Structure 1
Amino acid sequence: MIEWLQYLPEQKPKYMAIKKMIISLIDKGQLSSGDQLPPERQLAKLLSVNRSTVTRASDELVADGVIERRVGSGTFVSQQERPQAKRVNWHTYLISQRQSQSQNERRQLQQLIRRKPEKLIDVYSSDLPLALVPQFQFPALTWQDFITAQALETPRGYQPLITAINQLDQHNKRLFFTEEQLLMTAGVQQSLFLILQGLLTPGDAVAIESPSFFHDSTLFEATGVRVYEASVDADGISLTALEALIIKHRVKLVILNPDYQNPTGHVMSLQKRKAVVHLCQMHQIPIVEDDVFGWLGFDTTRPIPTLKQLDPDNVIYISSLSKIMGASSRIGWVAATPQVIEQLTRVQHEMDLVPSIMAQVMVTLAMGDPQFQTQLDQLKGTLQERAQATYKMLERVLPDWHVYLPAGGYYIWVTHPNHKLRLKTFIDHQLAVAPGSLFGLKTDALRINFARLNAIDLVALEQRLVAIIKATE
């Protein structure tokens, strides 16, 4: 009889130790072809580990052909001869080492959208429908035109684009930067990656909001930083929760989305903004202000100052054109002190992450179109109409839910403290919608992209929601 525990190597993660142990026992002849292994529950008890750990090890050994499961009989050492050649086991590379609930749910939603069923309603995707993307007329361009444009590139980006973004930020957000304070990137995700990679070291801690678009983001894992979440209410992040994280975990960076927060749509109050800035100043911690929806506020007559305006030196401002021109525009920017921009520029060039000159030239031409601001204003008007129409429909169809009407962006957030709706129910009804679990919430919540709902789609969504509610009663 095998004394299983004594053969278990001191290795982490434990499932890898179990794999190594079983393979070693086979190689040494202590387990032979056709031998039955203990049931997973029993083996977990013998090894003092969770059953899920044994299950994961078994799954990979089955995939590798080392063991096999026989329905109704158990698990046995494979009777097939194991190859002696030292071949790469691609399974260990391709299988996710950590598949969280939110990652699984995202995959299910993406699979549904890729299938494109005839009756699909997609309010999950985070981009504009093609019908709302502004239309621009471009001059005929040759390949030589793009090569010539490279002469106007600086280390921080295409000079005409830097100037155009600076001018439109001044008009739409009352933000004033020198050109040395701006760096062009391939979007907000890349901007944040450069910040994490360029300013932090592996093991450093960052604080984000909860719920947040950045919950479970692979950016943090890729850069080796630890992530902690502080709750958000209608007027912004909880100061008590944030300060507790700062003190307990020695937070080095705070990432906030104060305007039309993704997913809630909330706008942080001026009082809360000043308090957050003061708190981070006290602890000498920089803030990253994600303002991806900054140009899509419905009421711009009395804008609340950005965090960057309240604290120009300590706030790193990031934004993007993807929410206006579509995800394929792939142009974003970072605004920070010249010293920070210099560091991020160095990282960007070292990692060959400079945005395409073609994308920069095309976006510059679009922003230089005389109708750009007019089309932007028209887009905001359409979004406001769709937000109000969607809000009224949801209030009518979901009377027990709390529906938040945003003042910008294109997400509506609905919550319920007790209602239990499974993502599978939505998928079965061919409705792609973002559940709160994607953003780190345990209570039921839904994020709905109202920008994708014209009048016909809105009626279809109402009918689909009614059917889902009836199916769950």
Structure 2
Amino acid sequence: MIEWLQYLPEQKPKYMAIKKMIISLIDKGQLSSGDQLPPERQLAKLLSVNRSTVTRASDELVADGVIERRVGSGTFVSQQARPQARRVNWHTYLISQRQSQSQNERRQLQQLIRRKPEKLIDVYSSDLPLELVPQFQFPALTWQDFITAQALETPRGYQPLITAINQLDQHNKRLFFTEEQLLMTAGVQQSLFLILQGLLTPGDAVAIESPSFFHDSTLFEATGVRVYEASVDADGISLTALEELIIKHRVKLVILNPDYQNPTGHVMSFQKRKAVVHLCQMHQIPIVEDDVFGWLGFDTTRPIPTLKQLDPDNVIYISSLSKIMGASSRIGWVAATPQVIEQLTRVQHEMDLVPSIMAQVMVTLAMGDPQFQTQLDQLKGMLQERAQATYKMLERVLPDWHVYLPAGGYYIWVTYPNHKLRLKTFIDHQLAVAPGSLFGLKTDALRINFARLNAIDLVALEQRLVAIIKATE
């Protein structure tokens, strides 16, 4: 007779220890195909565990094909219980993976959008509607043209595109780079991944804002980096909270989004920028400046200097054209010292993450359109009109909510006191909107992409919000 307890490994959770024990007994030949196992109640007593623990272990062993239940007879070792014949239980494997609240909420919103219900209002998606994407003229191209263009590729990207990006930065941002300071990427997400992969090691800590688009980002998990969050307000990140994180967790990198911050739309003040730069200089910590929305400021007469302008050597600047040309453009860039760019370039090529030559050529042609800057200015004008119209509607319809009118980008940030509102309520009303929990907030807030709201959609959104409020009263 098997002395069950002596074979139970010291492992937690206990149901996994029971699974491991039974499989081990089969492997050693102490249990054979067709052998009957003790009843679950008796086995729980023998192992000094709860019956529910044995039941869960049995359920998974049945799913794995190791044991089988016979109605009226009991539980037996399966006839197919040979170790080499067992299959991976993908269901158990997949559901055991970590799923945070924000990841579950994103999945629900994405499922709603994919279903495309007739009355769907989508102010969640983070891209421009088709009618706002600038219309560029392209010459007729052949596949041979793209092959020929490869002759102009450098390790850092397509040379004409590097030149065009440099000119764009100089004209709009007053940023001046040498060619050795620029690296083309497939967008801001890839830029940040290369920085985390190339400059940090697993276990290093980074600091981000809260709320932030990068809350719960899989980039940090994929690179083994620990992430800590410091609160922000209308003026920018809290210096006290940031310094506490730096000291307590030995932060190696600070990631900031100072212009039209995602999700709040706030702009970090000039005084706060200087203070943040000074703090990071004191602790010798580089800053990553995410400026993907920086091209979409409504008032460009007196722009606040970027962090990169304030500290060219210690700030790594990342941006992209996805918020202007649409998400499918898949072109971004990193601006940093030549030493950093050389390291990131090496990582990019080792991991085969070089952006498509086709995308680089098409974006270069778009930027060479004589109307590029004019269309960019027109886009900013249209976005400003939609921001103001959305703001006025929300102020009128939701007087108890706090609505922040941004000065650029395409997000309006709303906080509200009604704690009865939950994501399911919005989904039930076919309204896709980003709750504050996606960005790391426990308080109630919404991010609304006003860029996706023409006059007709704005009226529909107003009616939908009124209906949602009434339904929860």
> Normalising to structure 2: TM-score of the pair?
0.90
Structure 2 partner of 1:216: 216
Q: Structure 1 pair 63/85, CA: closer, same or farther in 2 (3 Å)? A: closer
Instruction: Choose 71-80 or 380-389, whichever is displaced more.
Output: 71-80
1:91 Cα deviation after fit: 3.7
- Give the secondary-structure state (helix, strand or coil) at the position aligned to 1:213: coil
Instruction: Choose 92-101 or 62-71, whichever is displaced more.
Output: 62-71
Structure 2: how far apart are the matches of 1:146 and 1:470? 57
Structure 2: how far apart are the matches of 1:205 and 1:221? 12
Structure 2: how far apart are the matches of 1:105 and 1:55? 31
- Give the secondary-structure state (helix, strand or coil) at the position aligned to 1:355: coil
- Does the CA contact (< 8 Å) of 1:64 and 1:91 recur in 2? no
- Does the CA contact (< 8 Å) of 1:69 and 1:75 recur in 2? yes
1:172 Cα deviation after fit: 1.3
- Deviation per CA, 1:429-454: give whole Å up to 9, x if none: 11111111111111111111010000
- Give the secondary-structure state (helix, strand or coil) at the position aligned to 1:268: coil
Structure 2: how far apart are the matches of 1:470 and 1:341? 54
1:58 Cα deviation after fit: 7.5
Instruction: Choose 26-35 or 345-354, whichever is displaced more.
Output: 26-35
Q: Structure 1 pair 48/131, CA: closer, same or farther in 2 (3 Å)? A: farther
Structure 1 partner of 2:326: 326
1:87 Cα deviation after fit: 3.3
Structure 1: how far apart are the matches of 2:205 and 2:48? 32
Structure 2: how far apart are the matches of 1:43 and 1:381? 72
- In our comparison, the structure showing a higher alpha carbon Rg is 2
Structure 1 stretches of 4+ moved >2 Å: 1-84, 86-96, 416-420
1:286 Cα deviation after fit: 0.2
1:245 Cα deviation after fit: 0.5
- Does the CA contact (< 8 Å) of 2:27 and 2:83 recur in 1? no
- Deviation per CA, 1:303-324: give whole Å up to 9, x if none: 0010000000000000011111
Structure 1: how far apart are the matches of 2:409 and 2:298? 8
Structure 1: how far apart are the matches of 2:117 and 2:136? 31
- Give the secondary-structure state (helix, strand or coil) at the position aligned to 1:207: strand
Q: Structure 1 pair 371/470, CA: closer, same or farther in 2 (3 Å)? A: same
Q: Structure 1 pair 332/23, CA: closer, same or farther in 2 (3 Å)? A: same
Kindly report which structure 2 residues correspond to 1:51-450, keeping only aligned pairs within 5 A, or say none: 61=61, 63-65=63-65, 85-91=85-91, 94-95=94-95, 97-417=97-417, 419-450=419-450
1:421 Cα deviation after fit: 1.4
- Deviation per CA, 1:390-433: give whole Å up to 9, x if none: 11111122222111111110011111255231111111111111
- Does the CA contact (< 8 Å) of 2:211 and 2:263 recur in 1? yes
Q: Structure 1 pair 275/37, CA: closer, same or farther in 2 (3 Å)? A: farther
- Does the CA contact (< 8 Å) of 2:64 and 2:88 recur in 1? no
Instruction: Choose 408-417 or 267-276, whichever is displaced more.
Output: 408-417
Structure 1: how far apart are the matches of 2:393 and 2:242? 35
Structure 2: how far apart are the matches of 1:246 and 1:39? 56
Q: Structure 1 pair 158/43, CA: closer, same or farther in 2 (3 Å)? A: farther
1:84 Cα deviation after fit: 5.6
Structure 2: how far apart are the matches of 1:239 and 1:260? 19
- Does the CA contact (< 8 Å) of 1:259 and 1:294 recur in 2? yes
Instruction: Choose 260-269 or 31-40, whichever is displaced more.
Output: 31-40
Structure 1: how far apart are the matches of 2:248 and 2:87? 46
- Give the secondary-structure state (helix, strand or coil) at the position aligned to 2:212: coil
Structure 2: how far apart are the matches of 1:388 and 1:302? 20
Percentage identity across aligned positions?
99
- Deviation per CA, 1:70-128: give whole Å up to 9, x if none: 99999999899688614344445544610111111111111111111111111110010
Question: Cα RMSD over matched residues?
Answer: 3.6
- Give the secondary-structure state (helix, strand or coil) at the position aligned to 2:69: strand
- Give the secondary-structure state (helix, strand or coil) at the position aligned to 2:136: coil
- Deviation per CA, 1:39-84: give whole Å up to 9, x if none: 9999999999999999987775565355799999999998996886
- Does the CA contact (< 8 Å) of 1:209 and 1:237 recur in 2? yes
Q: Structure 1 pair 193/33, CA: closer, same or farther in 2 (3 Å)? A: same
Structure 2: how far apart are the matches of 1:46 and 1:471? 54
Structure 1: how far apart are the matches of 2:343 and 2:39? 55
1:136 Cα deviation after fit: 0.8
Structure 1: how far apart are the matches of 2:243 and 2:165? 34
Structure 1: how far apart are the matches of 2:181 and 2:53? 49
* Structure 2 unmatched ranges of 5 or more: none
- Deviation per CA, 1:329-372: give whole Å up to 9, x if none: 00000000011001100110111111010000000000000011
Instruction: Choose 93-102 or 353-362, whichever is displaced more.
Output: 93-102
- Does the CA contact (< 8 Å) of 1:418 and 1:443 recur in 2? no
Instruction: Choose 172-181 or 187-196, whichever is displaced more.
Output: 172-181
Instruction: Choose 49-58 or 130-139, whichever is displaced more.
Output: 49-58
- Does the CA contact (< 8 Å) of 2:245 and 2:251 recur in 1? yes
Q: Structure 1 pair 41/115, CA: closer, same or farther in 2 (3 Å)? A: farther
- Does the CA contact (< 8 Å) of 2:211 and 2:231 recur in 1? yes
Q: Structure 1 pair 265/33, CA: closer, same or farther in 2 (3 Å)? A: farther
Instruction: Choose 17-26 or 201-210, whichever is displaced more.
Output: 17-26
- Deviation per CA, 1:206-262: give whole Å up to 9, x if none: 001111100111101111111111111111111111100000000000000000000
Q: Structure 1 pair 388/347, CA: closer, same or farther in 2 (3 Å)? A: same
Structure 1: how far apart are the matches of 2:70 and 2:271? 64
- Give the secondary-structure state (helix, strand or coil) at the position aligned to 1:460: helix
1:281 Cα deviation after fit: 0.3
- Deviation per CA, 1:148-201: give whole Å up to 9, x if none: 111111111011101111111111111111111100000000000000000000
Structure 1: how far apart are the matches of 2:195 and 2:51? 40
- Does the CA contact (< 8 Å) of 1:123 and 1:432 recur in 2? yes
Structure 2: how far apart are the matches of 1:240 and 1:156? 38
1:291 Cα deviation after fit: 0.4
Q: Structure 1 pair 202/387, CA: closer, same or farther in 2 (3 Å)? A: same
Structure 2: how far apart are the matches of 1:72 and 1:237? 65
Instruction: Choose 23-32 or 149-158, whichever is displaced more.
Output: 23-32
- Does the CA contact (< 8 Å) of 1:420 and 1:444 recur in 2? no
- Give the secondary-structure state (helix, strand or coil) at the position aligned to 2:277: helix
- Give the secondary-structure state (helix, strand or coil) at the position aligned to 2:464: helix
- Deviation per CA, 1:24-53: give whole Å up to 9, x if none: 467789999999999999999999999999
Q: Structure 1 pair 407/56, CA: closer, same or farther in 2 (3 Å)? A: farther
- Give the secondary-structure state (helix, strand or coil) at the position aligned to 1:468: helix
- Does the CA contact (< 8 Å) of 2:264 and 2:413 recur in 1? yes
Instruction: Choose 184-193 or 4-13, whichever is displaced more.
Output: 4-13
- Give the secondary-structure state (helix, strand or coil) at the position aligned to 1:84: helix
Instruction: Choose 285-294 or 94-103, whichever is displaced more.
Output: 94-103
